[in-house]
């Protein structure tokens, strides 16, 4: 049974109807990132405090004197969402222990873009995860610094054209492979690590719920399509996310206490990377040979994950 | 009456913070702050403080974490020095802009480069305009008292601002002094639990740290400026209350033999006591000298400075930091602008002293006063001098 195909039928029963990120925010039309944040909030529910990094999601949601947030929310700076979340967690824990606030469990969540997670925010995140705070951190990865105008990050994929790694007469855009952030979190022995994409809403929601139920740190890397920065149609966010997953460019998997599991959404046979590249202006300049190099890398990276599933299971 | 004990000042600061029912602390070690951090950890490890103690991976995260925790309504503390404070710099105006009570101890130390671990005020001076209340202590007892008072000031409903307590590194933090700890029951009475304005709690969701453009930003800056200026009254009230309860009085500006002095000297921090000895020696020689000690750096006590300097002919301002390429030391600039509109104002001289831990002795202070004696007070001297520098 394919739940996603019958989404309209199942969604009302499976998804929290309450909107905790309200309408009227200033995200671009068709933004995949804000859709992901909205779904995350639904999965988290009301007993949540969010610490957000500077970036698109902060700017579009909190224009003073308005706010889109129906959950307690704090923004401090760009590189420190994980440290702020850690402080919130410690503060709530201290107050609760002493009976200074009511005795209810509150999930603390840090969130940032790929820049706020993988580049400037990596140290704070590493520290928070290593210290074992009871918090979830979600990276909303739209593969560039979108808020400041589509500059490259370490999450920008090879070959993508951005404003600081543009395609030009002697350049094919990004010259480096995307940093494997989920693996860095796995290396921290975080009990729950997952990759997700709002194009698969039920899978994403289930993963957030799992992270919420995890005592201690957890991490979700959420692939978030940005039509503005990727130069694709604003009606294509869901389709692009699907293609990224179906081509293996962004595989969906979970790592629970070191055990890898590929999500059921992953196809048996991957679609060609070129199908995914086709609709996006940021890859338009790539030639056949360049796409082949990327195709090869995508396949070998995906194989690594499949191998981890297999061989780690063999150690049970 | 509380009994006196001999204790290292950094350790005593941690003990004093431990008397304040803090809920959370986040610290990152740096010399000469580290004894505060270490002793706080001891107190938590021994169950003497019931607080979450977060050993963050940097000072940037220390400040971020206490901001987050203060947002939940917790009473929070951190401490740092020098490079650590510079690393926090980005977050300091955010903390004050969010009107979050936070108390930070600063074991003042020179900033690099070159690297130097010893005392001066070059770490706090670049933080001057960050919207924090900034206090300077002169000795260990003041370090204890002001560390406790700082929570009450920061959390006061008419203030709601972060407070830093500047304690000269090594020269003060590492001294063993006879100290008196206030009685715990009295501290509890003086410092009741924090009553936060708004908190990060699902019972009443709030948005903290919203994005504001030109339509609101100026008003927010004005509001912060007014909050800081208005805090002076609260600080003075709290000092009066402290004096009534604990018998030790504090003022924004302290003076020593200043009323009738023709030549005044001004210090900030631990050098005040050395300067007092110099004043006594000068007075014995028949020189009409006196001392102003600046305790409250922000909000700046304009009226008190004017009152203290009103009878003097000459005023020597000492600075333990440099404003490179600027008009002189940062304290000097402030004092000058405080006195600019006065009809009768002293001639003002500026000596940069005690950089990177260089000793400033009684002889040095006497030398500074003797140097300005022959100067014509009517003629303005518009330069500053690095005292005792080898050319
Ligand atoms: C210390 C600091 N450096 C740079 C910036 C400018 N800046 C703000 S948001 C941003 C990029 C955000 O990118 P990302 O984290 O990927 O989030 P996105 O906007 O793409 O969702 C940058 C560079 C800043 N606010 N603070
Ligand atoms: S720039 Fe991209 S990520 Fe940012 S709001 Fe627009 S679509 Fe969303
Ligand atoms: Mg981004």
Is the CB of B211 less than 8 angstroms away from the CB of A123? no
Q: Where are the domains of chain B?
A: 4-246, 253-386
Q: Which helix (H) or strand (E) holds B79?
A: strand B76-80
Is the separation of the CB atoms in B136 and B8 below 8 Å?
Answer: no
Residue A8: pLDDT over 90: no
Q: What is the pLDDT of residue A250?
A: 98
Q: Does B307 touch chain A (CB under 8 A)?
A: no
Q: Which ligand sits nearest to residue A233's alpha carbon?
A: 2
pLDDT in tens, A69-89: 999 999 999 999 999 999 999
Is the CB of A123 less than 8 angstroms away from the CB of B57? yes
Give the one of B54, B64, B210 whose C-beta lies nearest to A124's C-beta: B64
The interface residues of chain A toward chain B in range 33-62, judged by CB-CB distance below 8 A, are: 46-49, 51, 58-59, 62
Question: What's the count of helices (H) and strands (E) in chain B, helices before strands?
Answer: 12, 16
Residues near A170 by beta carbon (within 8 Å), at least 6 away in sequence:
none
A284, A290, A294, A300 alpha-carbon torsion, rounded to 10°: 160
CA-based nearest residue to B40, from B3, B81, B77: B77
Atom in ligand 1 nearest the alpha carbon of residue A146 = 20
The residues placing their C-beta within 5 Å of ligand 3, an ion, are A 113-114, 142, 146
Q: For residue A261, give the 3-state DSSP assignment.
A: strand
Pick the CATH number of A7-311 from 3.40.50.11820, 1.10.3720.10, 3.40.50.970, 3.40.50.880: 3.40.50.970
Residue matched to tokens 């409250």: B296
* Domain B253-386: CATH architecture, name and number where available: 3-Layer(aba) Sandwich (3.40)
How far does residue A58's CA lie from ligand 2's centre (Å)? 11
Give the one of A62, A90, A98 whose C-beta lies nearest to B65's C-beta: A90
Q: What is the pLDDT of residue A2?
A: 54
Q: What is the pLDDT of residue A3?
A: 55
Structure tokens at B156: 């006061």
The CA distances from residue B303 to B197, B237, B339, in Å, are: 31, 16, 10
How far does residue A57's CA lie from ligand 2's centre (Å)? 8
How far does residue A230's CA lie from ligand 1's centre (Å)? 17
Q: Which residues of chain B have pLDDT under 50?
A: none
Task: State the best of B193, B200, B219, B221 to mutate against chain A, taking most chain A CBs within 10 Å.
Answer: B200
How far does residue A54's CA lie from ligand 2's centre (Å)? 13
The percentage of chain A sitting over the pLDDT mark of 70, rounded to a whole number, equals 98
| CA gap A68, B7 in Å, rounded | 52
Bridge pairing between strands A167-168 and A192-196: unpaired
CA-based nearest residue to B281, from B259, B260, B304, B256: B256
Is the CB of A100 less than 8 angstroms away from the CB of B91? no
Is the CB of B69 less than 8 angstroms away from the CB of A87? yes
Q: At what angle do helices B59-71 and A122-131 cross, to 10 degrees?
A: 70
Give the one of B74, B206, B207 whose C-beta lies nearest to A94's C-beta: B74
Q: Does B23 touch chain A (CB under 8 A)?
A: yes
Q: Does the beta carbon of A142 sit less than 6 angstroms from any atom of ligand 2?
A: yes
| CA gap A183, A60 in Å, rounded | 30
Q: Which ligand sits nearest to residue A55's alpha carbon?
A: 1
Radius of gyration of chain A (CA): 19
pLDDT in tens, A175-189: 999 999 999 999 999
Query: Given pLDDT bands bounded at 50, 70 and 90, which one contains residue A13?
Result: confident
How far does residue A212's CA lie from ligand 1's centre (Å)? 26
Task: State the best of A50, A54, A57, A72 to mutate against chain B, taking most chain B CBs within 10 Å.
Answer: A72
* Domain B4-246: CATH architecture, name and number where available: 3-Layer(aba) Sandwich (3.40)
Residues of A with Cβ-Cβ distance to B98 under 8 angstroms: 76
Which of the 8 DSSP states describes residue B256?
Answer: E
How far does residue A27's CA lie from ligand 2's centre (Å)? 6
Q: Where are the domains of chain A?
A: 7-311
Q: Does A269 touch chain B (CB under 8 A)?
A: no
Q: Does B69 touch chain A (CB under 8 A)?
A: yes
CA-based nearest residue to B181, from B360, B17, B361, B385: B17
Bridge pairing between strands B52-54 and B314-319: unpaired
Residues near A304 by beta carbon (within 8 Å), at least 6 away in sequence:
none
pTM above 0.90, yes or no: yes
Q: Which helix (H) or strand (E) holds B59?
A: helix B59-71
Structure tokens at A239: 């389709």
State which of A24, A197, A226, A234 you would mutate to test the pocket of ligand 2, scoring each by most atoms of that ligand within 8 A of its C-beta: A226
Q: What is the pLDDT of residue A1?
A: 44
| Mean pLDDT on A100-121 | 97
């Amino acid at each position: 049974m394919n739940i996603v195909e019958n989404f309209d039928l199942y969604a009302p029963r499976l998804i929290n109807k309450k909107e905790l990120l309200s309408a009227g925010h200033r995200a671009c039309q068709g933004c995949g990132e804000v859709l992901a944040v909205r779904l995350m909030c639904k999965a988290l529910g009301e007993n949540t405090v969010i610490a957000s990094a500077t970036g698109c999601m902060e700017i579009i949601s909190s224009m003073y004197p308005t706010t889109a947030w129906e959950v307690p929310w704090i923004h401090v700076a760009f590189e420190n969402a994980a440290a702020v979340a850690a402080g919130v967690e410690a503060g709530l824990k201290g107050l609760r222990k002493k009976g200074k606030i009511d005795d209810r469990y509150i999930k603390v969540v840090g969130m940032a873009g790929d820049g706020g997670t993988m580049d400037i925010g990596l140290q704070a995140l590493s520290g928070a995860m290593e210290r074992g705070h009871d918090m979830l951190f979600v990276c909303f990865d739209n593969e560039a610094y979108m808020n400041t105008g589509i500059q490259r990050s370490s999450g920008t994929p090879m070959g993508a054209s951005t404003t600081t790694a543009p395609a030009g007469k002697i350049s094919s855009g990004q010259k480096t492979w995307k940093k494997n952030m989920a693996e860095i979190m796995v290396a921290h022995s975080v009990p729950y690590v997952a990759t997700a994409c709002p194009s698969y809403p039920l899978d994403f929601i289930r993963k957030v719920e799992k992270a919420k139920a995890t005592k201690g740190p957890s991490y979700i890397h959420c692939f978030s399509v940005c039509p503005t920065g990727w130069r694709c149609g604003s009606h294509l966010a869901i389709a692009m996310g699907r293609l990224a997953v179906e081509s293996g460019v962004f595989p969906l998997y979970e790592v629970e206490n070191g055990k890898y599991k590929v999500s059921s959404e992953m196809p048996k046979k991957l679609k060609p990377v070129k199908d995914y590249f086709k609709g996006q202006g940021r890859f338009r300049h790539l030639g056949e040979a360049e796409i082949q190099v990327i195709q090869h890398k995508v396949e070998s990276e995906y194989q690594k994950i499949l191998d981890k599933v297999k061989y780690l299971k063999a150690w049970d | 009456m509380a009994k006196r004990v001999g204790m290292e000042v950094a350790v005593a600061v941690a003990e004093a913070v431990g008397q304040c029912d803090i809920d959370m602390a986040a610290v990152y070690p740096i010399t000469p702050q580290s004894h505060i951090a270490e002793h706080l950890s001891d107190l938590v490890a021994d169950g003497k403080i019931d607080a979450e103690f977060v050993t963050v991976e940097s000072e940037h995260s220390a400040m971020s974490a206490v901001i987050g925790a203060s947002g939940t309504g917790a009473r929070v503390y951190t401490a740092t020095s020098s490079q650590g404070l510079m690393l926090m710099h980005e977050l300091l105006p955010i903390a004050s802009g969010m009107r979050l009570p936070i108390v930070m101890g600063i074991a003042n130390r020179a900033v690099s480069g070159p690297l130097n671990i010893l005392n001066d005020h070059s770490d706090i001076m670049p933080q001057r305009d960050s919207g924090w209340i900034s206090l300077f202590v002169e000795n260990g007892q003041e370090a204890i008292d002001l560390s406790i008072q700082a929570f009450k000031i920061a959390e006061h409903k008419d203030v709601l601002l972060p407070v830093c307590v500047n304690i000269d590194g090594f020269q003060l933090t590492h001294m063993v002094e006879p100290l008196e700890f206030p009685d715990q029951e009295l501290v509890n009475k003086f410092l009741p639990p924090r009553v936060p304005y708004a908190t990060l709690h699902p019972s009443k969701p709030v948005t903290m740290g919203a994005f504001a453009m030109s339509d609101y930003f100026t008003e927010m800056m004005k509001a912060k400026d007014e909050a800081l200026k208005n805090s002076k009254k609260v600080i003075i009230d709290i000092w009066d209350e402290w004096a009534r309860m604990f018998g030790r009085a504090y003022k924004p500006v302290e003076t020593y033999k200043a009323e009738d002095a023709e030549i005044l000297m001004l210090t900030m921090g631990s050098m005040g006591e050395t300067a007092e000895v110099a004043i006594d020696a000068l007075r014995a020689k028949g020189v009409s000298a006196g001392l102003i000690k600046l305790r409250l750096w922000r909000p700046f006590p304009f009226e008190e400075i004017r009152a203290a300097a009103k009878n003097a002919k000459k005023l020597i301002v000492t600075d333990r930091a440099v404003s490179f390429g600027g008009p002189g030391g940062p304290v000097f600039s402030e004092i000058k602008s405080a006195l600019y509109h006065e009809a009768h104002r002293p001639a003002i001289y500026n000596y940069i002293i005690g950089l990177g831990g260089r000793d400033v002795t009684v002889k040095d202070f006497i030398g500074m006063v003797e140097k300005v004696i022959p100067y014509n007070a009517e003629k303005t001297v518009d330069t500053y001098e690095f005292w005792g520098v080898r050319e």
